[in-house]
Amino acid sequence: MPSLDAARRRLRLSDAHISVLGVLVEEDRLPDELSQARDELREAGLLDGDDKIVADLYPLVSTLMAPRVIVRVEVTGPQGVTSNGAVIGDEFIFVHEAWPGSTESEYVPAEPETLVWSLARMVDLHRDFTDESDGSEVIASSMGLFDKVVERMEAGEFEEPEAVAEATGAPLRLSETLAQLNCMWRMTVVWRGAQGKRDPGGLSVAALSVWDCGLEGYWLRELPAEPVGDGQVDANSELRVRRTSAKELWRLITALLPDGAQLATAQAQTS
């Protein structure tokens, strides 16, 4: 069920609830499949008797309806894939995090100064378990061999990395590293501006993809290079990952965002 923590301005909403709010703002006809989500919003007191959105929802809804920057954080782990991220508008910034197996996400207001910290927390960025890496170790392979190693890992039978490497033809170091895999995460930032690569819709896009491999540390995927579009990667695509550190990843997350002055300007408009 959707809910509001008025004291901390936190909200729990599903994608269906967000869709209902968008339809109501646009004053369009609500599709039948969203009727249950609308009823849940009514029951939670987030819609009044005339289906008007309550004032406490204004900051989030106004931000979602006219975002300046969107950050998507996709985390793939043992419990599946969770979608998290941030939305930056002219007046407000909200971060949202999902819980594995739940349809609802928690939306929380954020400040420009805490945004990188919030994004780092979404991917559980932490001090390395081993010594800081100098970034010199690289593993090169192909996406096809990567898939084969992952498939054997997901089969549910424990195998030593040497056996997996021999069975798949993958480099031993790839098998050893993936044997310690905690999760993979991808962070994508989309905005209108001159920085970053352009997508077909004319938006600027910047992204990075990382493996969190526990005792084997963090690995930055350099090839296929992000952002990756549909159909751009197949089994023959080159795979190259480089050992990195939490410190470097913090810098890379910071660099993903548009110029910091833009975020400061957006926040200054609230005062």
| Residue 253 within any structural domain of the chain | yes
Q: Please tell me the least confidently modeled range out of 104-108, 122-126, 150-154, 193-197.
A: 193-197
**Domain end among 49, 65, 81:** 65
Mode of pairing for the β-strands spanning 183-191 and 204-212: antiparallel
| Residue 124 within any structural domain of the chain | no
pLDDT at residue 134 in the model: 59
Chain mean pLDDT for the chain: 89
pLDDT digits (tens, 9 = 90+) for 138-160: 999 999 999 999 999 888 777 89
pLDDT digits (tens, 9 = 90+) for 245-268: 999 999 999 999 987 544 444 444
Average pLDDT of the residues in 217-239: 94
What is the band of 122 on the pLDDT scale with cuts at 50, 70, 90?
A: very high
By the 10 Å C-beta count (0-12 exposed, 13-18 middle, 19+ buried), 218 is classed as buried
Reported in sequence order, the residue ranges of the chain that DSSP labels E, i.e. its strands, are 3-5, 10-14, 69-77, 80-88, 93-98, 104-110, 138-142, 183-191, 197-198, 204-212, 218-223, 238-244
pLDDT at residue 238 in the model: 97
Highest mean pLDDT of the ranges 80-84, 190-194, 260-264 = 80-84
| Residue 57 within any structural domain of the chain | yes
> How many distinct structural domains can be found in the chain?
2
Cis before 227 (ω within 30) = yes
Give the C-alpha separation, 250 to 125, whole Å.
Answer: 8
Res 199 pLDDT > 80: no
pLDDT at residue 244 in the model: 94
Instruction: Give the predicted TM-score (pTM) of the model.
Output: 0.89
Average pLDDT of the residues in 198-226: 89
Res 231 pLDDT > 90: no
Q: Please tell me the least confidently modeled range out of 31-40, 118-127, 206-215, 253-262.
A: 253-262
pLDDT at residue 130 in the model: 59
Res 207 pLDDT > 70: yes
pLDDT digits (tens, 9 = 90+) for 161-180: 999 999 999 999 999 999 99
Do 151 and 50 lie in one domain? The reply is: no
Res 270 pLDDT > 50: no
| Residue 116 within any structural domain of the chain | no
| Residue 118 within any structural domain of the chain | no
| Residue 35 within any structural domain of the chain | yes
**Domain end among 65, 83, 100:** 65
Average pLDDT of the residues in 207-235: 94
pLDDT at residue 263 in the model: 45
Res 8 pLDDT > 70: yes
Give the structural domain span for 28. Answer: 1-65
pLDDT at residue 27 in the model: 87
Do 142 and 253 lie in one domain? The reply is: yes
DSSP code at position 20: H
Do 253 and 142 lie in one domain? The reply is: yes
Displacement of CA 70 from its chain's centroid (Å): 10
- Secondary structure class of 7 (helix, strand, coil): coil
pLDDT digits (tens, 9 = 90+) for 14-58: 999 999 999 999 988 999 999 999 999 999 999 988 899 999 999
| Residue 185 within any structural domain of the chain | yes
DSSP code at position 214: G
Do 242 and 143 lie in one domain? The reply is: yes
**Domain end among 12, 46, 65:** 65
pLDDT at residue 145 in the model: 97
| Residue 159 within any structural domain of the chain | yes
